[in-house]
Amino acid sequence: MKLNPQQLQAVEYLGGPLLVLAGAGSGKTGVITQKIKYLITNIGYSPHHVAAITFTNKAAREMQERVGRMLPKKSTRGLTVCTFHSLGMRILREEALHIGYKKNFSILDGTDSAKILNELLGGTGKEALYKTQHRISLWKNDLKTPEDIIQTASNEWDRQTAAVYAGYQATLEHYQAVDFDDLIRLPALLLQQNNEVRRKWQLRLRYLLVDECQDTNTCQYTLMKLLTGVEGMFTAVGDDDQSIYAWRGANMENLRQMQADYPQMKVIKLEQNYRSTARILKVANKVIENNPKLFKKTLWSQFGMGEHIKVVACRHEQHEAEWVVGQIVKQKLMGGDKTRYADFAVLYRGNHQARIFEEALRSARVPYQLSGGQSFFDKAEIKDVLAYIRLLANPGDDPAFLRAATTPKRGIGEATLGKLNAYAQQHGCSLYEAALSGEAQSALAAANREHLQQFVALMENYRAHAEHNDAGELITNLLNDIAYEAHLLNNEEGKAGESKWRNVCDLTDWLAKKSRQDGKNIMEIAQTIALMTLLEGKNEEEADAVKLSTLHAAKGLEYPYVFLVGCEEGMLPHADSIKESNVEEERRLMYVGITRAKHRLTITHCIKRKRQGTWQFPEPSRFIGEMPQEDLKILGRKGGAPIVSKEEGRSNLAGLQAMLAAKTQKE
């Protein structure tokens, strides 16, 4: 990678804390990876003393792959390239005893956490559960304890939720478990309170590179400060114009706070864009300049002006979807072998907008991928079954034990698990080993002891046959014994239980087929499933398919052809943001959407849209009005050129499909 002067300066600067303001498409990942190489090969840093921290596993993998291509494997041994949560987990595993946890503590996912909260709330409904879970997460991200909230609460709901928070945290400690937020919160608190541990990690991680620093919450920023110390040997890379995650606790003000905390900090701006045409960047710059600025910057590129940005008024959402899909088919046909379906992205504000585009794409027989769609293996009912499989394969899997023992409910609750945890911690064993112990069982009330013994006897019986039996038959029998189908049907509303049971049946059918074809028992299949879940994201990235994605999920990605749809008041900007006078983040979201496009950007909005069965007539998004009008080609509304009717559009699409089918058949 050839570096421009600003990139080179960012790579070579080691005079103290450095903030790199990296505009969209300005090569920030290249700067981070080149700086890792520079630190190790030119300056002589040991890889053990360098850490690059980002937000997603995908970004971490990309960095690791780039570094791997630049440096021999022996030169990177010990290098840390991971997410904030992975780093927090590493610290917690090593320092668990300092916070009263065992090293193999359990990590609960959102579903497991929700089950605990639902018990504490007394089953008050999904909306109340979601609201409570979200609020507790934000409090944790702000490093606030239940006591902090109770002392400062301005309303009764916060006080009641703080009490639930306290009970929730006590349950986690009983379980020797942490949730996703705790993976950063607990290390931050530990480093704050323990000088010896803090100094140990500062000496280990002597240079820190932090990606997407505009997305850090209070907890993450605190952890970063504690690791870097007063010397501030770090490079933080970010862009205040792309801060779009306030709803999950991200605090753009951390960039301002960084200047106050490190007055000697140097700031370098990366403004040359290596992705988009000059016209796309001109439109993006014009929109974002309406926001107040922490740091002023202007993106530019050497790719020439490029095409005008199309702004298309569609009659309604059905017309919008069919028109967009027609354009994709047309451009794919015109582009020939050089154009792939993966070159196209349809971006929208909310997940609910995807359905109608899915229908249009399926009708046109165009392959597509739904970004952020739930993996089969992430569905709650599948994770329930996998917990039993994992526990059969590895009795030392504490998270699997927690899930299996409590799903379906069988009288094993907080009191039982708390005593098992205490025994396991005292004797250095797993929860399953503790459950087998007569000594641990004797500490339980008679009813609780009986329930635990029944569960252990069930698992021991199936473990005895796990290495030999047909995997599908084994799990089918187990599900019958625990009455899992009845559990789903009794605990889900409407047809949701039936749908979930069908998913479970699909899993057991797959297990049976895998067992017969490959001759694998349940132990071996458990390892196969673990590997599949790790590789699933990679396979998704490689498919040649149109990408359907929310604007939030599209951040960091790029496509030659982008359709930014539903750009109306109430959609983008979102109605809630307008109501709360918080349009600035919506504008940053629009900026992110615009700057995903490399060559061609099309913006659509509907003249009317049906909401809750009623036609509404929204105004085009205010952000369209903020764009330089001379760079727009407006179609379909007053003063603009007409677009084809719905009937003509369908006819054209059918013709294009026929041409595409004939071309494919010929090849």
Active-site amino acid positions: 28-29, 211-212, 242, 596
Distances (CA, A) of 365 to 228, 591, 645, 654, 662: 53, 31, 22, 11, 14
The answer, yes or no, to whether the previous bond of 47 is cis (omega within 30 of 0) is no
Count of CB atoms situated within 10 Å of the CB of 573 = 23
Which phi and psi (to 5°) does residue 180 adopt?
-60, -40
- Selection from 348, 454, 347 nearest residue 410 by Cα: 454
The reply to whether 25 sits in an annotated binding site is: yes
Distances (CA, A) of 393 to 402, 515, 520, 535, 600: 15, 15, 12, 20, 51
Distance CA 644, CA 656 (A): 15
For the residues of 525-556, what is the DSSP string, one character each?
HHHHHHHHHHHHHHHHHHS-SEEEEEHHHHTT
Distance CA 200, CA 223 (A): 14
Note the helical H segments in 96-237: 110-121, 126-141, 146-152, 156-175, 182-193, 195-204, 218-228
The reply to whether 519 sits in an annotated binding site is: no
Q: How far is CA 103 from the centre of its chain?
A: 26
H or E element: which one contains 79?
none
For residue 600, the cross-strand partners are: 561
The reply to whether 145 sits in an annotated binding site is: no
Per this entry, what is the length of the chain? 667
- What tokens appear for 86 in the block? 């992975």
DSSP 571: B
Note the helical H segments in 482-632: 484-491, 496-518, 522-542, 551-554, 575-579, 583-594, 622-625
Distance CA 626, CA 396 (A): 59
Contacts of 43 (CB under 8 A, 6+ apart): 14
Q: HEC profile for 272-284?
A: ECCCCCHHHHHHH
Count of CB atoms situated within 10 Å of the CB of 426 = 11
The reply to whether 613 sits in an annotated binding site is: no
Termini Cα distance of the chain: 38
The reply to whether 471 sits in an annotated binding site is: no
The answer, yes or no, to whether the previous bond of 408 is cis (omega within 30 of 0) is yes
For residue 135, the cross-strand partners are: none
- What tokens appear for 617 in the block? 């007539």
Q: Are 461 and 428 in contact (CB under 8 A)?
A: no
The reply to whether 360 sits in an annotated binding site is: no
Q: Are 242 and 555 in contact (CB under 8 A)?
A: yes
C-alpha triplet 588, 594, 599: angle, nearest 5°: 160
Which phi and psi (to 5°) does residue 523 adopt?
-65, -45
The reply to whether 581 sits in an annotated binding site is: no
- What tokens appear for 372 in the block? 């952020």
The reply to whether 22 sits in an annotated binding site is: yes
The reply to whether 28 sits in an annotated binding site is: yes
Q: Are 548 and 418 in contact (CB under 8 A)?
A: no
For residue 231, give the 3-state DSSP assignment: coil
Residues contributing to the annotated binding site for ATP: 22-29, 275
Cite the annotated binding site by residue number: 22-29, 275
